[in-house]
Structure 1
Amino acid sequence: ALHYAARRFFQPVSVCAIPSEDGKSVRFSMVNDTPDDVEIDMNIFALALDGVRIPLKSASGTCGPDAAALLTEIDLHQLPAGALLSWNFIASNGMMGEGHHVRETYKALDLRPSVLTHQVSTLDNGDVEVEIVAEGLALFVMLEADVAGRYSDNLFDLAAGERRRIVFSPIDKAQTGKPAFKVFDLYTSQSQA
């Protein structure tokens, strides 16, 4: 999991959430570690515990090379009770990202079952595509295969109705049959089976 999280937070262009000391607001800082200016378009949402995204604010800005700059700020009083702050962004160089901020602790969230389902299909090159769908809020979704290999992505969030396609590259592509996958999220990791 840390590998996928580190890939995101070390990405050359990103947006970082910085909570105020009093916990009443969050500033969003653009970070650009490339040698060129980048324009960043960002959307901020309230993410309810049932997985519904409620648009709060959009922001755009330009960040110079090898720099960081304030993009926008949001007052956390705008969030409905129990909701998380969620965002996504895309930069002019094609880099994109997403994140969320929890006001208190994950343990204090009254999470509901996310009802994650997945379908698996084999690609012509021997890789496997896994499509994951969430009926509710799914935080820190993670796939696990019964064979060794590499994922195009892992450890991500899904809102209600969202889907994500992940490509899994088995180390041994000569192996016959599809790998079996398990899909976890924060709710299933905290629940007793």
Structure 2
Amino acid sequence: MSAAADVMLEKLYHVESGGQAFAQAWADGWDMPEPLPVDEWADNYRVLPRESSSEHGPWRTSRTPYLREPMQVLSGNHSCKRAVMVFGTQTGKTETGNNWVGASVHQSPSSMMIVQPTVEMGKRWARQRLNPMVALTPELQALIETCPQPRQREHFDDERISRRFYGNRRLQQLVFVVIDAGAPPVPG
């Protein structure tokens, strides 16, 4: 704390009565921990589901080291404002994005939009990727509205492509998922 803050706190709270300790504890409570980079968040919190992963269990960036840099670029404290991943198929792009979503919602919630190529693909991503990630991550369960308890499940659409979570209402993060199947065949 600054010297000016110390003087102000000393005037507000009597040092002899323990007021300084209270004031310091109150001030310390406002200090927010620095958000983890996406790759570190994934290593600490992400669990891959058995249904969609050949290596289910805790996420380990060390198994896919080429994804570390893209995840660090997607981290909130990185200077990059736009990230483009040009990778082959089935090499971790979707899981990189899922890790970014999880880290963002958990550590610095703000509105985000993830645009899939079709509505059907958006529903499939929600059902096969988002819902299992939230179900296996207690830190996200408390923040993201997903599938309710089994008795209420009959009235719930687990393919909804919209989810609510606590955070800023201004759109701050936007992801476009683009699938390029290659150039069209050349006639002739």
What TM-score do you get using the length of structure 2 for normalisation?
Answer: 0.28
Q: Which has the higher helix share?
A: 2
Q: Which has the higher strand share?
A: 1
Q: Highest CA radius of gyration, 1 or 2?
A: 2
Structure with the greater relative contact order (CA < 8 A, sep ≥ 6): 1 or 2? 2
